[in-house]
Amino acid sequence: MDESVVTAPPSAASPSAENGSGPEYDIRLIGLTKRFDDVVAVDNLSLDIDRGHFFALLGPSGCGKTTTLRMIGGFEEPTEGRIELGGVDVAPLPAYKRDVNTVFQSYALFPHLSIFENVAFGLRRRRVKGGEVRRRVVEALELVGLAGLERRKPRQLSGGQQQRIALARALVNRPRVLLLDEPLGALDLKLRKEMQLELKRIQSEVGITFVHVTHDQEEAMTMADQIVIMNGGHIEQSGTPTELYESPRTAFVAGFLGVSNLLEGTMVGEDRVKLSDGTEVQCPREALGGRTGTVQIGVRPEKLRLGAGEANSLSGTVAESAYIGVSTQYTLDTPAGPVTVYVQNDRPGGQVATGERLTLSWSPESTFVVDSQEGLQ
Amino acid sequence: MTSVAAEAGRTRPNALSRAWAFVLRHVLTVYSLLFFVYLMLPIAVVIAFSFNHPTGRFNYTWRGFTWDNWLHWNAVPGIQSAITLSLEIALFASIVATALGTLIALALVRYGFRGRGTTNLIIFLPLSTPEIVLGASLATLFLHSASYGLSIPFGFWTILIAHIMFCISFAVVTVKARLIGFDRHLEEAAMDLGANEWTTFIKVTLPLIAPAILAALLLCFAISVDDFVVTYFNAGNQVTFPIFVWGAARVATPPQINVIGTAIFGIAVTLMLINVFIQNRRSKQA
C-alpha cells in the first residue's frame, strides 16, 4: 500500500493555476481501497486525472468504477487511501464540502421543486444573491438547451430533458470536477447517441474536468479523451481511446474494447513469435516489451487482409460466415486457433462459402501482444 | 298445465332472459349498493337522530325534526369538558406520536443496527395486542408506578401516555411505507450540492415525506379521539368523550351525542374530500 504513496504529491499542492509548469492534476487517487465487509470493491487504486479532460472510467458491472466515483463524490468512505482534489486530501470531508458535483444515474431531481429551484439548489446553499442566482440558472439552462422550462416540475419533463436538467444543476455550481455516474443508461439508443455528442460539446465549452463512469465501451470511446479500464477493483490499462484500442496490454482490455483475435505463441526472437502451429509472426518490438516465454499476440479483425500481401499470414477454412451488409464476418479455423475477419462487401457476389480455404495476412504494426493465460476467453 | 306452461314459455322466455341478463350485467352494481347501504345505514341513523326531538331521556324513537340539539350542543352537563379533554389528548398524542414515529421509521428504514428486527416486532405489538390487554397492562404499570419511584396518578397524563403509546405504532407504519419507496440518491444529490445533513433533511427529506407525516397525524388523531377501552382503564376520574357517551348511555342518550358524532363524521369526510381534491389537482398538473 505504501509504495504507491511514494510518488510525492505534485506541485498542485499550491494551486496549480499559477504555475503553468508540469502536469496539472484535478484529481489524484492514491492507494484508494474500499472494502465492503470482506468484499474488496476497489483495490489499491492510484490514478491521476488531468485538468480539463473528459475522463471515462470503463469496466464491466462490479468492477469498482461506480464505487470509485462515489468515493470521489463523498458518498462512500474509503477504507484506505487518499483522494486529492487540487492537491488537498478530501477523503475525510463530507460530500457537501467537496468542490465536485455529480450527475446521478437516476438523475435524482427533487420532485417537489420546480426546475428553477432544482438548478438553483446548489447556489442557494452557497448563499449566492438572488439576481446572480437567476442569471446563472438561466445561463445553465441555456447551456443544456432547455431555457424556458424554469417553472415546470421534474415529472413534467421527458427522460432526456431530466437528464439535461441534472447536468445543468451540477454545472451551475462551476465545480472543479463533474462526476457522471452512467448518466445515459436510462435513455434510448437514439437519445443516448445525441447526448454523447452533447455532453462532449458541453465539456469542451465549460472546460471542467468530467469523470464519466460507464460500462459501454462505445460510449467511452466516443466521448472521452482519456479512458481507464477497470476490472475486479483495479486498473487494467489507461490511455487515449486509440492507445487502448490499437495496443491493449491485457487480454481483458483487448476483449472489452471490441473484437480481437488472440493467438498463443512463444517468443523466438526480439520481434518474432512462433504460434502453436509453428507459423512465425513478426510483432513490433515495443509491443513485446522484452517479454519471454509464452505470450498471446492479437490482431483486430478489420486489420486482416484476404490473400498473402502482408508480412504475417495464416491460412484456414471458413467455419462460419455472417453477412452484415457493409461487410461479411468470417470465422476461420486455423491451426493456430480460430480467427475472425471482416471483409468489405465492395463488389457483389464476393462471398466465400463455408469450408473454403482462405489465406489472411496482416502487417506487423497491426499486431499487439498481451500476457498469456490472462483473464477473459 | 303443460299447455299453459308451453304458452307462457312462448311469450316469457324473452322477458325472463332479459331480466336475467339485466341481473347478470348489474350483479356487481346491485351487490355494491347493498353493501353501501349496510355500511352507511348506521351512520345515516346517527345523523338523522341528531335532529330528533325526543320526549323522554332516550333518543331511540323519531319524534320530529328540530335544530335545537345543534344550537345547544353543550346543553348536557359534562359534555363540553369531555370533548375538550378528548381533543386535547388527541392533539398532543398525535403530535408526539407522529414526531417519535417518524424518527423511529427513519431509523428502521435507513440504518442497520443491532436490535432492528426486535424493534420492528415491538412496534407491531400494540397493533396486534387486544386493546383490553393493553389497557389492563398499562393500568397495572401506572398503579405500581409509585414503587418504581415515580408516582403518576391516573388522569390526564396517564391517558396521554397510553394514547401516545398505541399511536406511535400507527405513525411508524404509515411513515415507513413512504420511506421504503424513497430514492436515497435525492439526499445524496442535496449533499452533493452543498447541503449539510440538517439542510438536506429540512429541504428534501421532510417535504417528500410530508404527506405520510400528515396522514400519520390524522390517523393518530382519529384513533385517539375514538379510543374507549384503553382510556377507560387509565382515566381515573377524568372523562373523555367516549367515556362520557358510555356513562350517559346507562341513564339517558341525549341527542347531543349524535350531534357530536355527526360533527366528527362531517369533519373527517370534509378533510378526506379536501385531500382527494388536492391529490387530483396535483396529478393533473403532472
A96·B286 Cβ contact <8 A: no
A277-290 burial: b if 16+ Cβ within 10 Å, else e: eebebbbbeebbee
B196·A96 Cβ contact <8 A: yes
Residue B219 is inside which H or E element, if any? helix B206-226
| Unique residue bearing C-alpha cell 369526510 | B269
In whole angstroms, give the CA distance from residue B197 to residue B268.
Answer: 36
Per-residue pLDDT tens digits for A74-104: 999 999 999 999 888 999 999 999 999 999 9
Contact B81, B239 (CB under 8 A): yes
User: Which residue of A112, A137, A173 is the best one to mutate when testing the B interface, meaning the one whose CB has the most B CBs within 10 A?
Assistant: A112
Edge-first strand listing for the sheet containing A261-267: A280-282, A272-275, A261-267, A294-299, A368-371
The three cell numbers of residue B72 are 345547544
Nearest by CB to residue A155, choosing from B188, B195, B286, is B286
Flag whether residue B186 sits within 8 Å of chain A, measured between CB atoms.
Answer: yes
A122·B188 Cβ contact <8 A: no
What's residue A279's pLDDT? 86
* Banded pLDDT at A7 (limits 50, 70, 90): very low
In whole angstroms, give the CA distance from residue B272 to residue B91.
Answer: 18
The CATH class for the domain spanning A2-246 reads: alpha beta
Question: What is the distance, to the nearest Å, from the Cα of residue A335 to the centroid of all Cα atoms in its chain?
Answer: 35
In whole angstroms, give the CA distance from residue A331 to residue A317.
Answer: 8
Side-chain half-sphere exposure of B146, counting CA atoms within 13 A: 3
What's residue A3's pLDDT? 37
Residue B46, classified by CB atoms within 10 Å of its CB into exposed (0-12), middle (13-18) or buried (19+), is middle
A106·B183 Cβ contact <8 A: yes
What's residue A259's pLDDT? 86
The residue ranges of every structural domain in chain A are 2-246, 251-371
Domains of chain B: residue spans and CATH: 2-49 (no CATH), 79-252 (1.10.3720.10)
Per-residue pLDDT tens digits for A309-366: 888 888 899 999 888 888 889 999 998 889 999 988 887 777 788 888 989 999 988 8
In whole angstroms, give the CA distance from residue B285 to residue A112.
Answer: 12
What one-letter code names the amino acid at B49?
F
Secondary structure letter of residue B52 according to DSSP: B
Closest CA to A94 of B180, B204, B198, B205: B198
State the DSSP string of A42-87.
EEEEEEEEETT-EEEEE--TTSSHHHHHHHHHTSS--SEEEEEETT
The three cell numbers of residue B155 are 388522569
| End-to-end alpha carbon distance in chain A | 31
Residue in chain B lying closest to A95 (CA): B192
Choice between A62 and A117, residue whose per-residue pLDDT is larger: A117
A251-371 matches A2-246 in CATH topology: no
Q: How many residues does chain B have?
A: 286
3-state secondary structure of A287: helix
User: Which residue of B182, B184, B193 is the best one to mutate when testing the A interface, meaning the one whose CB has the most A CBs within 10 A?
Assistant: B193
Side-chain half-sphere exposure of B67, counting CA atoms within 13 A: 1
Residue A234 is inside which H or E element, if any? strand A234-239
* Banded pLDDT at A4 (limits 50, 70, 90): very low
Q: How many residues does chain A have?
A: 377
In whole angstroms, give the CA distance from residue A309 to residue B140.
Answer: 100
What one-letter code names the amino acid at B87?
L
The residues that bridge with A273 in the sheet, in sequence order, are A267, A281
Residue A293, classified by CB atoms within 10 Å of its CB into exposed (0-12), middle (13-18) or buried (19+), is exposed
Residue B282 distance to chain A (closest CA, Å): 11
What's residue A268's pLDDT? 85
Per-residue pLDDT tens digits for A231-273: 999 999 999 999 999 889 888 999 888 888 999 888 887 788 8
| Unique residue bearing C-alpha cell 356487481 | B28
Q: How many C-beta atoms lie closer than 10 Å to residue B210's C-beta? A: 12
In whole angstroms, give the CA distance from residue A369 to residue A261.
Answer: 11
Secondary structure letter of residue B205 according to DSSP: I
In chain A, alpha helices (H)? 65-73, 115-125, 130-143, 159-171, 189-206, 217-223, 241-246, 251-256, 285-288
* Banded pLDDT at A34 (limits 50, 70, 90): very high
B192·A156 Cβ contact <8 A: no
Secondary structure letter of residue B241 according to DSSP: H
With contacts defined as CB-CB under 8 Å, which chain B residues touch A74? 191-192
Residue in chain A lying closest to B191 (CA): A96
What's residue B192's pLDDT? 95
In whole angstroms, give the CA distance from residue A266 to residue A369.
Answer: 11
Per-residue pLDDT tens digits for A194-210: 889 999 999 999 999 99
B190·A126 Cβ contact <8 A: no
Per-residue pLDDT tens digits for A232-241: 999 999 999 9
A102·B192 Cβ contact <8 A: yes
Residue A133 distance to chain B (closest CA, Å): 14
- Taking each helix axis as running N to C, give the angle between helix A115-125 and helix A130-143, from 0 to 180 degrees, rounded to the nearest 10: 130
State the DSSP string of A8-22.
---GGGS-TTT---S
Residue B150 distance to chain A (closest CA, Å): 44
3-state secondary structure of A372: coil
Residue A57, classified by CB atoms within 10 Å of its CB into exposed (0-12), middle (13-18) or buried (19+), is buried
B193·A101 Cβ contact <8 A: yes
Residue B218, classified by CB atoms within 10 Å of its CB into exposed (0-12), middle (13-18) or buried (19+), is middle
What's residue A9's pLDDT? 38
Could you give phi then psi for residue A180, rounded to 5 degrees?
A: -125, 115
Residue B193 distance to chain A (closest CA, Å): 5
A102·B204 Cβ contact <8 A: no
Flag whether residue B75 sits within 8 Å of chain A, measured between CB atoms.
Answer: no
Contact B75, B253 (CB under 8 A): no
Per-residue pLDDT tens digits for A121-176: 999 999 999 999 999 999 999 999 999 999 999 999 998 899 999 999 999 999 99
What's residue A2's pLDDT? 39
pLDDT under 70: residue ranges of chain B? 1-13, 285-286
Residue A367 distance to chain B (closest CA, Å): 45
What one-letter code names the amino acid at A377?
Q
Residue B55, classified by CB atoms within 10 Å of its CB into exposed (0-12), middle (13-18) or buried (19+), is exposed
Instruction: Quote the CATH superfamily of domain A251-371.
Output: Nucleic acid-binding proteins (2.40.50.140)
State the DSSP string of B57-124.
S---S---B-SHHHHTTT-STTHHHHHHHHHHHHHHHHHHHHHHHHHHHHHHHH---TTHHHHHHHHH
Contact A87, A12 (CB under 8 A): yes
Q: Following CA atoms B36, B41, B43, B47 in sequence, which dihedral angle do they give, to the nearest 10 degrees?
A: 130
